[in-house]
Structure 1
Amino acid sequence: MSFVMAIDDPGPYGRGRYDWNMTPEVDVTQWRKGSQWFEVNREVGIEIVKDTVYYPKFKEFCRPSCYSDEHYIQTMLSIETPQSLANRSVTWVDWSRIAAHPARFGRVDITEEFLREVREGQTCLYNEKNSTLCFLFARKFAPSALEPLLELAPTVLGFG
């Protein structure tokens, strides 16, 4: 499976960014949004590189409020190879603090409890088995977070 989050978001950041000039190649019901961070296997990577159908539409019509890194790969792969997508991101982020951007964590945020929640706070499927290790990495840490992260790494993360 390739870790590409591709969701049908009916709101302003999803379908609200759709341009009707994308038809007939991309209908609004096929329009997807997802994280800019992703991982694809070789076969899916080849599909992306050889695409001559969807990319020209995105190049021409994905303008100001449309962001290719949040829509192109997600939409194209959802249409062409939906069975190959895990439909989740490789990154853990916290969207609860700010609407347009994920939260940024600094020194005061970094505690053992916080790191355990990031690592084990969710359940997901991995190789068709339940797992609490759902993401490859977390993001949006301020420079001030470095020292407490390094201090807690041996205890919480098991290395360092």
Structure 2
Amino acid sequence: MKRKVSQQKSHYIWKTKVFAALLFGFCFATVVLLETQYSRIKTLALLSPPIVQKPKIAFLFIARNRLPLDIVWDAFFQGDKENKFSISVHSRPGFLFNKATTRSAYFLDRQVNDSIQVDWGGSSMLQAERILLQHALMDPFNERFLFLSDSCIPLYNFSYTYDYIMSTTTSFVDSFADTKEGRYNPKMHPVIPVYNWRKGSQWVVLTRKHAQIVVKDDTTFPMFQLHCMRKSLPEFWRDHPLPAEGWKEHNCIPDEHYVQTLLAQEGLEGEITRRTLTHTSWDLSSSKDRERRGWHPMTYKLADATPMLIQSIKDIDNIYYETEYRREWCTSKGKPSPCFLFARKFTRSAALRLLNMSALGASNESNK
């Protein structure tokens, strides 16, 4: 009996050793296989070029509510195949871009969640710009920051626009010395001396460095909040009492002065290209349409929307600054180029007509 038990025990021990040997062999083979595969993967990784995220342009839209030209921009953004842009929209508080309020997937949920009510001619517009920049700066790949209104259209396709904007290390900021009396408020002195007072377009393109300066500014911005505000306009006099001694009022439109003056304050004017990339028509002297006269730029309506209009804007290759007796020829990558990539103000019907006529770069990728 003892001998039988001993034989069974020996047999069990032998089976255990065999199983252990097999298990060890399997584990060893697995390790060798994993090391081989790891070596192959590592070799392939070294041979394959790394995926590099290209720098992006942050498109920053300032809107009243929805974006009436979203379909035009949808066609424009479809030209990007490499994720080279981001979108942020500042609209009225509580407005959401969802499937009920936009027809473009590019704008879904792209509204900033801390927007404010914006009043034309007030410092609230500057606050909206700063909010948009704060959000856009959270993306480390955003290298250019472009402000657009809800009535702007792109003149060229995405590829051409991207290359144009990224071809320079400067910001595009229309800026010139504003010597006209009544705009600069002496109460800004000495924080903002008159020799740093500048004027230009609100529709700027900023480098990341300059965008950070705008967001961090805690000196120039408060002075604008206190001392830069629009004059009581004749078109509003019917709703308000006539201003006493209106001739003494300073007609300071904050968004036409802030970025320009701030960069002058920081001694950075040598880092900007002194023009805007957004075309606006202010020459209304010959207009027979009374609705088109006033303090606001011309609005292009359905009847204005023709390929000839767009081509005339594209053909502009220089800008003359009357106050400085200076003419600037527009260049890109060191070569002569069109001055403008965008244009405003277009109604929805006008923009859609241009899109359907393939008059915009957004509607035809073969057209730069």
Query: TM-score band (shorter)?
Result: 0.7 to 0.9
Contact conserved, 1:110 with 1:148, CA < 8 A, in 2? yes
Q: Tell me by how many angstroms 1:40 deviates.
A: 0.5
Q: Tell me by how many angstroms 1:90 deviates.
A: 2.2
> Which residue does 2:277 correspond to in 1?
90
> Which residue does 1:70 correspond to in 2?
256
Aligned with 1:2 (options 145, 168, 171): 171
Establish whether residue 57 from structure 1 lines up as the match of residue 226 from structure 2.
Answer: no
Q: Tell me by how many angstroms 1:99 deviates.
A: 5.5
Q: Tell me by how many angstroms 1:52 deviates.
A: 2.6
Contact conserved, 1:116 with 1:156, CA < 8 A, in 2? no
Contact conserved, 2:305 with 2:351, CA < 8 A, in 1? no
d(CA) in 1 for partners of 2:295, 2:177: 17
Name the Cα RMSD after superposition: 2.1
> Which residue does 1:151 correspond to in 2?
356
Q: Of Structure 1 and Structure 2, which has the larger fraction of its residues in strand?
A: 2
Establish whether residue 44 from structure 1 lines up as the match of residue 231 from structure 2.
Answer: no
d(CA) in 1 for partners of 2:184, 2:220: 13
- Could you tell me the percent identity over the aligned residues? 35
Q: Which amino acid aligns with 1:66?
A: C
Q: Which amino acid aligns with 1:4?
A: V
Establish whether residue 126 from structure 1 lines up as the match of residue 332 from structure 2.
Answer: yes
Report the 3-state secondary structure (helix = DSSP H, G, I; strand = E; otherwise coil) of the residue aligned with 1:63.
coil
Structure 1 residues 72, 147: closer, same or farther in 2, change over 3 A?
A: closer
d(CA) in 2 for partners of 1:35, 1:102: 12
Rg comparison, structure with higher value: 2
Structure 1 residues 63, 93: closer, same or farther in 2, change over 3 A?
A: closer
Contact conserved, 2:171 with 2:272, CA < 8 A, in 1? yes
d(CA) in 2 for partners of 1:31, 1:73: 11
Structure 1 residues 30, 9: closer, same or farther in 2, change over 3 A?
A: same
**Relative contact order, higher structure (CA 8 A, sep 6+):** 1
Q: Which amino acid aligns with 2:261?
A: T
> Which residue does 1:33 correspond to in 2?
199
Structure 1 residues 131, 96: closer, same or farther in 2, change over 3 A?
A: same
Paired residues in the alignment total 155
